[in-house]
Each structure stands twice: as structure tokens, then as C-alpha cells.
Chains A and B, each alone.
Chain A
Amino acid sequence: GAGVSQSPSNKVTEKGKDVELRCDPISGHTALYWYRQSLGQGLEFLIYFQGNSAPDKSGLPSDRFSAERTGGSVSTLTIQRTQQEDSAVYLCASSFAERDSEFFGPGTRLTVL
């Protein structure tokens, strides 16, 4: 069966531009997570969606970051006015239920010039 997919796999953008990252979770998984992996920083939790419930946005690093999940399935992470410190690999994961085993996508490598 299909795993978690993310697009694009790579994104290079100029400072100040907006970017949108997409995540397609495993079919039937109700929980969806976004993480960021920066060089030397490890993996950092960003935001979590459970079904159609409103997410807790407190983990997002700044108000330039937003995320939505449409129809309890596909999710998009949007970064407005990108900065060089936003350069990282953005990973999406899904699980069947809250706190079950998480299955990760291949990530989107974002480079802000």
C-alpha cells in the first residue's frame, strides 16, 4: 500500500517568498504531524491534526507558519515571507490514531537563498 507522500521533494526559494508544502497521509490514518529537521538541531515537532479537529498551533516557530488539513486527509504547511533560517527538511507523518506508531514521508528539503 502507499505510504505517506510529500511534495515537492525539493524546493529552492528566495528570501521573502511564500512556499506551500503538501502532505498526503496513509489512507485511513486520522492523525497527521508536521516536523522540521534542521542541520545540527534534530527533529522539531511543529503541529498535529487529529481528524477534522482544530490543531494546537503553539509549536509553530513563528506566525509566518500556518497549516491546514482539508477533509481530514491532505495537509499543507505554508511559510510566508521565508527567511534563511527556515531552510530545513520538513517531514510529515501519519498514524492510525493519536499516539500510535508514526509513519513518515520522505520529506521536503527547503532551501531559502
Chain B
Amino acid sequence: KQEVTQIPAALSVPEGENLVLNCSFTDSAIYNLQWFRQDPGKGLTSLLLIQSSQREQTSGRLNASLDKSSGRSTLYIAASQPGDSATYLCAVHSGGGADGLTFGKGTHLIIQP
């Protein structure tokens, strides 16, 4: 059974810093990996999707990398802003069957102004 772990569970940094969020998964046979952000009381917003054949994806100040063989992904946020404060969730589609995403429990990020 696929398990997804995110480290750290919480992170607080001053505005302007670059930061890295980590995600690991136990079964490397994934189809793709998706990063989301969730704001309090809201649904999820998709940030980046990386296919299993890809190494990284970039969107603005966000860069996500994938090392499928070692079961790891990182989300890099450059020049952090207070508006980046949210919970960041990593999720994978496993390779077999018609299942939904398996999610980690998230990293709660606070950017201090």
C-alpha cells in the first residue's frame, strides 16, 4: 500500500527566504505526482503536476523535482511571500488500477512579514 510522508510538518520562515518542502513515497511505481496548496477552510489548488517520466516542473517561483527511483520529491519556493502561507500537500497517483491520489499529511507553512 502506497504511503506518502511530508517533512517538515510545519515551517515558519521570514519573508524573502527560499525554502524546500520534502515529500517521500514508499512505492516508486507511480504514474505522476502532484503538489497542492490548501488555504484554511478552502479546497485544494493544484500547483504542479510531474509525470513519472519527468524530473522537474516549474511555475513562477515554484519548482518541483521528482526522483522516482528513490521515492522523493521536493517543492522549492523562491523569494517567499506572506501570501505563500498555506498547507502544502503532496500526492501521488500509483501506477496500477483506477485509484485516486494518495496524499501526505501536508506541510503547514507560515511566512512571517
Contacts and interface: CB of A to CB of B under 8 A. Distances in A.
Contacts, number: 56
Interface residues of B, number: 23
Contacts of A107: 43
B101 interface: yes
A98 B103 contact: no
A101 B34 CA distance: 7
A48 B100 contact: yes
Given A43-B89, A99-B93, A102-B34, A48 B99 contact: yes
Nearest to A41: B105
Interface range for A: 20 to 34
Nearest to B100: A45
Contacts of B99: 45, 48, 56, 59
A99 B31 contact: yes
A56 B98 contact: yes
12 contacts: A42-B105, A43-B91, A44-B103, A50-B98, A56-B98, A91-B44, A99-B31, A100-B49, A101-B46, A102-B101, A104-B43, A104-B44
